[in-house]
Amino acid sequence: MAKVKTMYFCKNCGAESPKWIGRCPACGEWNTYVEEPVAPKGKHGALLGDAGSGQTPAVPIKISEIKTEEMPRIKLPSAELDRVLGGGLVPGSIILIGGEPGIGKSTLVLQNVLRIRSRKVLYISGEESPQQLRMRADRIAGGKMDCECYLLCETSLDNIFASIKANKPDLIIVDSIQTIASDQLESAAGSVSQVRECAATFLRYAKETNTPVILIGHINKEGSIAGPKVLEHIVDAVLQFEGDRHYMYRILRSIKNRFGNTSEIGIYEMKEDGLREVTNPSEMLLSLHGEALSGTAIGVTIDGARPFLIETQALVSTAAYGTAQRSVTGFDQRRMNMLLAVLEKRVGFKLAQKDVFLNIAGGLKVNDPALDLAVICAILSSNVDMPINKGICMSGEVGLSGEIRQITRIDQRIGEAEKLGFESIIIPANNTRGLHSSDFKIKLIEVSKVEEAFRYLFG
């Protein structure tokens, strides 16, 4: 009996080595190499019939002789998902959607699949039974099942492709890729070699038959998509489904996209009957209380290519136990500590012996530096217990010397604030070049230092 050949693979990046090593030379992680059997030569591509066995080799073509034509896209029912993908699904593309358990990946995909009428869809599930999927479909679709969607609960890659060849679907969904295993490999499902081989097999089928494939992947404890990094390299687009399960909002973000812009994001709201698209997130992220409250400031931020307004909440109180606390939700804590140091050094507010709590309303995580001005204004408003006028919003980056630095896409930020009915917006003075106040109905307040913004807000 022939001896089974084994290799060592890195669980983090997929690098291989003939022997075990402590630290991966490719990604630098420690103790990530695992021993797995290697498939014998000649078995790759066996599921595709002639692939790898007598197939005619490709002939090189001069790049100037290649005919270019616009690839027709498959429009999906969700406009948010279409925008993140760059205008729809490209035939022959393979898409990877990742997210934490219970965040709504399967709901997002199944919700779109149930609304496709003109194409045959094959939904492959390795985690749920047909009865569970039917119950979820009833909850999402409300009993309307006039789509051409077929369910296949199977984990064997050979059986899956036998069903695919028999049904010839127009769209394939795999939920999830970590549960699929090939009988040609002896390792368990979800291992490095299984995930890589199964994804590569779906990739070959997608390119040969021009059939789009959507893969659903899990997230590990570090927050990245589980499995080797080669899984992200071989797919055409990687979409990350983010959000806190304790909040209702979800963000679909494009990490990699060969057919569109990676700066686009889609926003959803989780409901009992599925995910609802949020076309105007600014109205939902602003509180609807009538009176102005201290410690609240409205900041204009941009995530991806979409501007929206976020309510920044701060609470400053005297430290009860001698040591001041710093608690932040939805914002970088190190950046807030830097802004507190600017307030104390440049402006003269002593906050070293006070507790500071900061929260970004809506459960979102914001990395835009243009939110700095709203953060320090909310902190100062809570410190002096003076509310900020509800008709004022602001956007600007704060430097270490207390200056308000220039920000990007200022015209989009002003337009979003004007659309929501704000009376005035505080912006950096350097951003007014090329802007004409007559083009906007909203009042533009130009500031160059933090003190000027405080003087306008609090007198």
For the cut 80, the answer to whether the pLDDT of residue 2 exceeds it is no
222 in any annotated domain: yes
Domain range enclosing 27? 1-41
Whose tokens are 């002593």? That residue is 350
Between 138 and 70, the more confident residue is: 138
Within a domain: 47: no
Note whether residue 418 is domain-resident: yes
Residue 446 belongs to a domain: yes
Give the pLDDT of residue 44.
47
Does the pLDDT of residue 47 top 50, yes or no?
A: no
Q: Is 103 annotated for ligand binding?
A: yes
Where on the phi/psi map is residue 402: left (φ > 0), alpha (ψ -120 to 50), or beta? left
The annotation status of 105 as a binding-site residue, yes or no, is yes
Please tell me the distance from the alpha carbon of residue 387 to that of residue 297, in angstroms, as a whole number: 9
> Are the C-beta atoms of 360 and 429 separated by less than 8 Å?
no
Same domain, 253 and 312: no
Largest CA distance in the chain: 88
Is 129 part of any known ligand binding site? Answer: no
Cross-sheet strand order for the sheet of 424-428: 326-329, 354-360, 306-318, 296-303, 392-394, 424-428, 443-447
The band of 320, judged by pLDDT with boundaries at 50, 70 and 90, is: confident
Is 294 annotated for ligand binding? no
Does some domain include residue 63? no
Last residue of a domain, one of 225, 260, 277: 277
Residues 260 and 233 in one domain: yes
User: Is 441 annotated as belonging to a binding site?
Assistant: no
Cβ proximity of 51 and 208 under 8 Å: yes
Q: How far apart are CA 79 and CA 56, in angstroms?
A: 41
194 domain residue, yes or no:
yes
**Domain contains 232:** yes
In this structure, the answer to whether residues 168 and 220 fall within a common structural domain is: yes
266-282 burial, b for 16+ CB within 10 Å, e for fewer?
bbbbbeeebbeebeebb
Give the model confidence (pLDDT) of 117-175 as tens digits.
889 999 999 989 999 999 999 988 876 777 889 999 999 999 999 999 999 999 999 99
Residues 133 and 273 in one domain: yes
Average pLDDT in the chain: 86
For the stretch 285-298, pLDDT in tens is 787 666 778 999 99
| Residue after which a domain boundary falls, among 211, 244, 277 | 277
Q: Are residues 348 and 383 in the same domain?
A: yes
Are residues 412 and 264 part of one domain?
A: no
Residues 78 and 209 occupy one common structural domain: yes
Residue 102 annotated as lining a ligand binding site: yes
**Residue 94, H or E segment:** strand 94-99
* Co-location of 332 and 204 in the same domain: no
For 456, the 3-state DSSP assignment is helix
Tell me the average pLDDT across 14-22.
Answer: 88
Distance from C-alpha of 382 to C-alpha of 295, rounded to nearest angstrom: 4
Q: Which residue has the tokens 């990699």?
A: 256
Tokens found for residue 34: 């695992």
Q: Say whether both 175 and 269 belong to one domain.
A: yes
Pairing of strands 265-271, 249-257: antiparallel
Q: Which 8-state DSSP code applies to residue 356? A: E
* CATH code for the domain of 441: 3.30.230.10
**Does residue 288 sit in the same domain as residue 359?**
yes
Average pLDDT over residues 243-257: 83
Q: Is 46 among the domain residues?
A: no
The CATH code of the domain that includes 106 is 3.40.50.300
pLDDT tens-digit profile of 340-376? 999 999 888 888 889 999 999 877 889 899 999 999 9
Tokens 């308000």 correspond to: 404
Q: 248, 277, 306: which is the final residue of a domain?
A: 277
Question: By percentage, how much of the chain surpasses pLDDT 90?
Answer: 50
Query: Is 351 found in the same domain as 271?
Result: no
Domain count within the chain: 3
Q: Where does the pLDDT of residue 279 fall: very low under 50, low under 70, confident under 90, or very high at 90 and above?
A: confident
- If asked whether residues 290 and 396 sit together in one domain, one would say yes
